[in-house]
Amino acid sequence: MTQKEQTAPARSQRPRSPRVPVEFSLEVEGKTPSGEPFRVTAQAVKISRGGATLIVDADVAIGAIVELLPPFGGRLRAEVNGLWQDPIDGRPRIGVKLLDSNGWFAD
């Protein structure tokens, strides 16, 4: 291990803004890793000013750009920044970072 690696501060996994538990359906559009377009109904389970955790049954890759269509209108572009399967219910989850500066609270 180099001296720099020994003294480098560990990156925090703490969210940059508070997460709020929610439960609403939304549409998610994007492309699979092979380039095939998809549109699926997903379930938002947590949101923050700059992102969300979604239950979604779609083949997506980290770094993919998706569009979220919430039930209250509008379209939000987001980047997939996490993929996992919930250990309790076994359902696939994705984490997304909203690319619109006002996030969920845009006009």
**pLDDT confidence of 16, banded at 50, 70, 90?**
low
Type of residue numbered 47: I
Q: Which residue has the higher pLDDT, 13 or 45?
A: 45
Q: How far is CA 35 from CA 17, 68, 84, 95, 98, in A?
A: 32, 18, 21, 20, 21
Residue 1 covered by a domain: no
**Model-level pTM?**
0.81
| Domain count for the chain | 1
Residue 2: per-residue pLDDT = 44
CA 81 to chain CA centroid, nearest Å = 6
The model's pLDDT over 54-72, given as tens digits with 9 standing for 90+, comes to 999 999 999 999 999 999 8
Residue 10 covered by a domain: no
Q: How many CB atoms lie within 10 A of CB 24?
A: 12
Length of the chain: 107
Expressed as residue numbers, the domain containing 79 is: 19-105
Q: What is the CATH number of the domain that holds 79?
A: 2.40.10.220
The model's pLDDT over 23-38, given as tens digits with 9 standing for 90+, comes to 999 999 999 999 999 9
What pairs with residue 65 in β-bridges?
79
